[in-house]
Amino acid sequence: MTRKFLLIILSLIISCNVKDLVIEDSLKRVLESIDSTYEFDSLVAIIIIPEGGCAGCIEKSMDFLRGHNNYFNNVLFIITGVDDKKLTRLRLNDYNLFPSQNLVIDYKNEVTKNGLLSIYPKIFYLKQGVVENIDTSLPQNTEIWIIFKKRMFNRLN
């Protein structure tokens, strides 16, 4: 009985670590394929915002992006799920977001190809190239951007 319990615990630990490695590898492949000038190990967060999905969640994420796109040096914003390249660029230009040094448009939908697409915006918190935590902007998660700002300020101090 004890051996079975230990095997179950061990397999859970291993599967969690493998999942984290898969996410990190996927994020690295996305960065490499979209020609980002950022080095993965130097980033503290990657925020992936889909073009389609939960409209309210995406709008809150875009509002945050509008107010903070050049505020955090080692945070990369990726807009993905792009159906109309021209419309996306126009919308980002209207918000004075494009071009921006920490905003990338995933025209090739590499996020989707690497299994990271969601209908909700996601924040991948990184520390020295390792995913520490993942937050998802859900309708009921109204504090996500306040928490994000606090976490970023805590890292600076």
CATH number for 28:
3.40.30.10
Give the domain range for residue 31.
22-152
Percent of the chain with pLDDT over 70: 81
In sequence order, which residues have a C-beta less than 8 Å from that of residue 51 and are 6 or more positions away? 58, 79, 80, 81, 82, 83, 88
The DSSP bridge pattern shows strands 103-105 and 122-127 to be unpaired
Asked if residue 2 has pLDDT above 80, the reply is no
**Is 13 contained in some domain?**
no
Q: Average pLDDT, stretch 127-133? A: 89
**Is 122 contained in some domain?**
yes
**Is 16 contained in some domain?**
no
**Is 101 contained in some domain?**
yes
pLDDT, tens digit, for every residue of 62-119? 888 888 877 788 899 999 988 888 888 887 777 666 667 788 888 888 999 999 989 9
Asked if residue 20 has pLDDT above 60, the reply is no
Asked if residue 4 has pLDDT above 80, the reply is no
**Is 14 contained in some domain?**
no
**Is 9 contained in some domain?**
no
- The residue with greater pLDDT, 89 or 123, is 123
Separation CA 125–CA 134 (nearest Å)? 6
pLDDT category at 156 given cuts 50, 70, 90 is low
Question: What is the number of domains present in the chain?
Answer: 1
**Is 59 contained in some domain?**
yes
Asked if residue 9 has pLDDT above 50, the reply is no
pTM over 0.85, yes/no = no
